[in-house]
Amino acid sequence: MRERKKKKKKIQKINKKIKLIFFFFKEIKTIINIEDFFNEVNYNIDPNLQKGKFDSYESYINTMFFLEYEDCYLNLRKAIYKLKNKCLNIHNLNKTEKKNFEKNQKDIYCYFNGEIINIEINNEGIFIIIDFSSLTEKKINFSKRMINSSLVVITNNSFSDYLLSVVSYNPYIEKKLVEKNGESGRKYKLDMLQIPKEPRYRIKFEVINLSNESFGFMLANKNNLQLFESKSYFQTYIHILNRLQNLVIKQLPFEEEIVKVNFDNLEIDNPDNIFIYNDNLINPKKIFFLIHL
């Protein structure tokens, strides 16, 4: 009787694992949800195989999907969870701690003293204009920060809720371009935002996690906001995630080569089975191995 129960549990675990590997990437939302930010979430992702074969195309796509997903969101999740878990927020860190916190985080920028000064709703979406300060209180160089479509998490001091947004308009980048090109007479959106004096900065964001809670957050949390910006370019990641999720597995070609790493039936029209690239001879069959790198 005990052996039967053990066998049944073992089968259930195997079935659960199969379901995770084969179907989970189809079920998860590509836009991260609140539970993932404020709780410690660890997805059991199978590693990308550099050698050997995958169990199936589903397993292969699932691995590719979650590697991209974690690349996009992991560092933001870690930074926010680290503060929340220690019952801290950026505002109650001293100057040295603020500087060290951002320095010790991987691939994110942090800002504090955020204040929502305007909410705009139109047929293109919901936009908010936020004033904020840098952690180091030094002048911000916007050559790599707050570029268009960068992913920014906006949360309150208690981490009770958040807004997920992307940069819609950065007037400092436009100002720099205007000054560089000598277009001093050109009229642009910079006038509309009425940029404050440094060290305060003003950026326009588009809210992408629209819900009743989002509206409640914007009305209840006007000041003392924390902003966490990902250095990863969000638009590229979300495009890849959506494409992977919408793939029709049955219609994908080269299963033998990509998944099973079997090149026996691969036919190449080139009679010499080689081509020249950068003065080097390359066997085309080896190209398929790059998919696993």
Structure confidence by residue, pLDDT tens digits, 79-105: 888 888 888 899 999 988 988 888 888
Return the structure tokens found at 60. Answer: 């292969």
Cα 214 from Cα 5, distance rounded (Å): 47
Q: Is the peptide bond before 199 cis (omega within 30 degrees of 0)?
A: yes
Q: Give the residue among 137, 292, 286, 145 at the shortest CA–CA distance from 229.
A: 145
CB of 38 within 8 A of CB of 215? no
Mean pLDDT of 260-289: 57
DSSP letter, residue 15: H
Helix/strand/coil percentages in the chain, nearest 5: 45, 20, 40
228 pLDDT band (50/70/90 cuts)?
A: very high
pLDDT at site 14? 42
Confidence of residue 282 (pLDDT cuts 50, 70, 90): low
Contact 249, 182 (CB under 8 A): no
What is the Rg, in whole angstroms, of the alpha carbon atoms belonging to the chain?
24
Locate the DSSP E strands across 93-200: 108-122, 125-134, 151-155, 162-169
| Residue % of the chain over a pLDDT of 70 | 72
The mean pLDDT value of the chain amounts to 78
pLDDT for the residue numbered 219: 84
Maximum distance among all alpha carbons in the chain? 86
* Secondary element (H or E) of residue 66: helix 57-85
Q: What is the pLDDT of residue 146?
A: 94
In this predicted structure, the answer to whether residue 289 has a pLDDT above a threshold of 60 is no
The least confident of 128-137, 184-193, 236-245 is: 184-193
Instruction: Tell me the average pLDDT across 246-251.
Output: 79
Question: What is the mean pLDDT of the segment spanning 40-68?
Answer: 78
The pLDDT of residue 154: 94
